[in-house]
Copies of this chain bind each other. A is one copy, B any other.
Amino acid sequence: MKKVAIGIDIGGTNSAIGVVDELGNVLVKDTIDTPNHGNIQMFIDDLATAIKKQISNVKLLNADLEILGIGIGAPNANYYKGTIEHAPNLSFKGIIPFSDLLKSKLPEYQTIALTNDANAAALGEMIYGGAKGMKNFAMFTLGTGVGSGIVVNGDLVYGNDGFAGECGHMILVPNGRHCGCGGRGHLEAYCSAPGMKRTAFELLVLYNDTSSALANKSFNELDSKMIYDAAMAGDKIANEVFEITGSYLGQGMADTVHHLSPEAIFLFGGPTAAGDLIFGPTQRSLEAHLMPIFRNKIKILPSKLSLGDAAIVGASALVWKEIEKR
């Protein structure tokens, strides 16, 4: 009998549901709207219906399937309590007992577990991806924000309260750029996609460079993809944005290494498509910021999860990990 796990990714606009096999292949998937009116019970009903539909669909492909459980990736998710707490981009306010609500609709599944998106991605990397067999690694997810998941001794680090792994909010520059969390100088304010845009404008200001392609875009227009395209076309400012972003990222990673001495740090997300443009300066900066005993040991690797399915696949990995723990 083939074993599969259900992975769910709760997003601000849409939520995705997929059925994933042991190799990390998404067999079937669908998305539903995440309501913007805050009615959590209606959403749980819709989600349970959508899950049942995907289970029917996948059983059309292969009737001989065992569904092991449901893993959920969500913002501000608390693994210990199965709750989503005060998620700024979701309409469900306060503390939502998400796992319990879903369990009451789908009592046939013993294993229903919840974690945040970046933790789910790290688990996905460990169960299906490039971190197979690694016991100590970290994963940084670069996007609108910078998330992270940390694995120590083969287990995800949740910490005392379930919220560990907020490496995106380590302080790189005392009293530096304002971060979305309210803090100052955080890695996320420099190395996220909006952080790269901020760096681009900082450089335009510094050099007063009117010839750069980036000088023709407004602050609201410019995005990291445009910076990448300009860099590939030889734009000096755009290339320096990648150099500086990698420099900050490497500095932050050095703090992670000094804490945890991981075997590797994985990078996931849109900006990693720039390849050596971002990996090169990041690795150089990491080495420059490491103590001698850690040098030339730590690999910075691109995630092997596909960008499109990573959220579903990562969430489903939670199920295999829960079963392994028993």
Contact = CB atoms under 8 A, between A and B. Distances in A.
Please report whether the interface of chain A is mostly helix, strand, loop or mixed according to DSSP: loop
A161 B261 contact: yes
A263 B181 contact: no
Q: How large is the interface on A (under 10, 10 to 19, 20 to 34, 35 or more residues)?
A: 35 or more
Contact of A169 (B169, B171, B251, B258): B258
A183 B292 CA distance: 9
Contact of A259 (B164, B172, B173): B164
Nearest to A298: B160
A255 interface: yes
Most buried by B among A135, A261, A292: A261
When all copies of this chain in the complex are counted, the total is 2
A291 interface: yes
A136 B159 contact: yes
A181 B261 contact: no
Contact of A260 (B164, B262, B263, B289): B164
A167 B258 contact: yes
Nearest to A288: B183
14 contacts: A136-B159, A136-B160, A150-B259, A157-B260, A160-B263, A160-B297, A161-B297, A163-B293, A164-B259, A165-B259, A171-B255, A182-B291, A182-B292, A183-B289
